[in-house]
Structure 1
Amino acid sequence: MIYIFGHKNPDTDSIVASLVLAHLKKKLGIKTQACRLGPINEESQYILNRFKINAPRYLKNVKTQVADIPYTKASVGTLTTSIMEAIHLMEKEELRSLAVVSKHNHVMGIVDLQELALTFIRTYEKELNAPFNNICEGLSSSPLTRTTPPFYINGEIIVLAYHYDTLKKKDILKDYHIAIVGDRHDITALAIEKNVSLIIVTGNHNLPQELIDKADAKDITIISTPFDSYETSKKLPLCKTIATYLKRDADYFGDQDYLSWVVEDMKNKPNQSAFPVVDEKNRYLGMLSRKNLIGAQGKSVILVDHNEYIQSAEGLREAVILEIYDHHKLGDIKTTYPLQFKNLPLGSTSTLLLQEFLERHMMPDDAYCGLILGGIISDTLMLTSPTTTDTDRRYVALLEKHLDLDVNDFARDMFKAGTALGTISTKELFYKDLKWFESDEKKACISQIFTLDIDTLKEREEELENLMIKIKTENKNAYVILSITDILKKGSYIYYEPDSKYLATYCFGPNIHKGKFLEGIVSRKKQVMPKVMEFISSSNL
């Protein structure tokens, strides 16, 4: 999946750009998902509602998660899986560990190939407690009798290589024995007489019907295997279940766990070679080993309306940036590989993305044309911002005609919805359109609030000033500026916290004071941010 998103505290252009680019990619046959890094503001919601488009998905961060890593879709065992089958699966799929799951596919633990192998190198297993089906499968055997055997066969393995008289005289055979016998019918008859737990006839030898009938009468199961007595005696212990060797305390990871956690946990578990991966309901998905982490890449992303780390998603340095579409200054994002980076001096990223459609001789669906129109109008303040270009004006006229609407009425309704305060808190208002900028160790945050009712906003002046002081307290090396832009008067009221006085003077002149109205100052990108960056980038200021 490729995630498309704009900057933190998304404005309308950022929301629109993510949706429109995802729309374009879909038309080009590329699977992507439009996302956002913060809440939808009232202006954006108005546009989405008007054109009946769902909001982009909220994306908390783009840190690399287990789901982003190509872990192994390995087979699993259950509590009744035989050791033989487990070893076969691990050898076939080149695994060192096998996950064991319940009937609901929930992970119960793991078994290790090395531990299973060492168990049978060090000891000779005579005791057997194994499901009958495991025995039949492990020995490629089939029943000769009609009896219904117990689910589990319990007993002691014995190879009947003795002479008949020896067995009879020394009373070697007991009812708990699992007897392995060849084509010696007298020995088989003695085993039936002694009520052994199970008789295994090796070499696929046939038995007289008389012996089979006697076994059926005494409810003794006889099976036939193609293996000889030696092979049978070696394979039988491997028919036991893996339950005895299950490591229930083994670590496992959720597919949403972050890679940083995974690496740290693996360091603390040096003896565990592989780790089950589960979903949010603890259902098994696959196995993750250390070799899966070699060369693993993070999420694939496309950035719109920004190209700076401080404005982007947490974990961006772990992600693979495929493309960037923007109309701001060049930021600090770096990659070790080439990518498509389209950055043009236009009034909005929405303008740039409509251009992408038109260059391909395509037109967005009507609903997305409406979104683009809203994005351009929002970012250019209805074409009054100094960032507005002839391309923006031409595209607004094109979309107005295409959608058959009155652009002035549309803009008025959109700005009215976007500036309505309602029950929004002062903090939400301040952070709604806030951007951080940084250079070396210095940072600056610039919040911009658009309004059609400046008197109502002035009632919150003290709260806004206290909030700026609080932000400064929490960010010692930061400067804080607020621009309240009056859409009708086409200018902004400038506020700043006390320690940012020098910055405000540098940006707006020596006569600046808190709450001063500056006519014509409406663009943070073109009229405020360049001076701010110039100030914080200079060590002499």
Structure 2
Amino acid sequence: MENLKMMRVTYVVDHHRLGDLTTLEPIYLRFEPVGCTATILTKLYRENKFRINQNIALLLVSAILSDTLHFRSPTTTDDDRLMVNYLLPIAKIDNVESYANQMFAAKSDLSRYTMREILFLDYKTFIFNNQLWGVGVVETFYPNNTLTRKDELFEAMIDEKKRSNLTGILFSVIDIVNLRNYMIILGETEKFIIQKAFNVNVQDRIADLGSRISRKKDIVPSLERYFKNSN
């Protein structure tokens, strides 16, 4: 977030690990190892006895279902399921399976995006062993639609790697039907690291990482372990 250090942060709610946030004064923190921040927000609504209307319930349910891939992601917890079950009648969702599938189908339509926009739909940077890496992810019903356009994606990745002075850049195409991760490999640096960190082969500049679909729980921890052990 731009100008974060100039803002007065009073409350942080998240389901990721704590980063390098520093504040001038004590603040409220609520971090929990759940599948989605919306799970924690739902808890806060309930704990403080705030009424949740239908629109808010729809947003919260959608966020949890999206982040947990309808409870199929390894990040899913019992709390995520409990909060969705609590929210469903408020959101007036009768068939959660149908709702989730419609949501994922809409999410999978990437035709209106350029490849550069797709690269940054869900993109984060990480520091591994003092090296800056970019890791992007797209979750889709139709992985081949993106994989067949990988040459266009390479151009966007090359541009971003140079622009941000990255050591490496990775991009995963997640098949949310078969729960499979196809990682697009830009160059020799990325190829060497992925082969070593995940013990996989790279063919036609794509690494099949199998069921390792979570950046938070599968990809980043494996890269961190590799860089730590390679020192």
Q: Report the TM-score, using the length of structure 1 for normalisation.
A: 0.40
- Cα offset, 1:535, TM superposition: 4.6
- Indicate whether 1:509 and 2:199 are aligned: yes
- Indicate whether 1:475 and 2:164 are aligned: yes
Unmatched tracts of structure 1, length 5 or more: 1-312
| 1:486 alignment partner in structure 2 | 175
- Indicate whether 1:360 and 2:48 are aligned: yes
Unmatched tracts of structure 2, length 5 or more: none
| 2:220 alignment partner in structure 1 | 529
Give distance in 2, aligned partners of 1:518 and 1:371: 31
Deviations 1:135-157 (A, max 9, x none): xxxxxxxxxxxxxxxxxxxxxxx
Deviations 1:353-372 (A, max 9, x none): 00101112333111100000
Alignment counterpart, residue 339 of structure 1, candidates 27, 30, 41? 27
Secondary structure of the residue aligned to 2:209 is strand
Alignment counterpart, residue 147 of structure 2, candidates 458, 472, 489? 458
| 2:114 alignment partner in structure 1 | 425
Kept in 2, the 8 Å contact 1:507–1:528? The answer is: no
Larger radius of gyration: 1
Q: % of aligned pairs identical?
A: 27
- Cα offset, 1:342, TM superposition: 0.8
| 1:436 alignment partner in structure 2 | 125
Give distance in 2, aligned partners of 1:539 and 1:533: 9
- Cα offset, 1:540, TM superposition: 4.5
Query: Aligned in 2, Cα 1:439/1:509: closer, same or farther, shift over 3 Å?
Result: closer
Deviations 1:437-479 (A, max 9, x none): 2257421111101111122222201111232223222333432
The structure richer in helix per residue is: 2
Secondary structure of the residue aligned to 1:482 is strand
- Indicate whether 1:500 and 2:153 are aligned: no
> What is the letter of the counterpart of residue 486 of structure 1?
D
| 1:203 alignment partner in structure 2 | none
Give distance in 1, aligned partners of 2:2 and 2:91: 38
Give distance in 1, aligned partners of 2:80 and 2:117: 30
Kept in 1, the 8 Å contact 2:200–2:209? The answer is: no
Give distance in 2, aligned partners of 1:315 and 1:439: 24
Deviations 1:347-394 (A, max 9, x none): 000001001011123331111000000000010011100000001111
| 1:328 alignment partner in structure 2 | 16
Alignment counterpart, residue 380 of structure 1, candidates 46, 51, 68? 68
- Indicate whether 1:400 and 2:91 are aligned: no
Give distance in 2, aligned partners of 1:483 and 1:388: 20
- Cα offset, 1:510, TM superposition: 4.3
Secondary structure of the residue aligned to 2:35 is coil
Give distance in 2, aligned partners of 1:517 and 1:464: 17
Give distance in 2, aligned partners of 1:469 and 1:485: 21
Deviations 1:179-198 (A, max 9, x none): xxxxxxxxxxxxxxxxxxxx
> What is the letter of the counterpart of residue 374 of structure 1?
S
Give the paired residue count. 228
Kept in 2, the 8 Å contact 1:468–1:496? The answer is: no
| 1:266 alignment partner in structure 2 | none
- Cα offset, 1:539, TM superposition: 9.1
Query: Aligned in 2, Cα 1:507/1:439: closer, same or farther, shift over 3 Å?
Result: closer
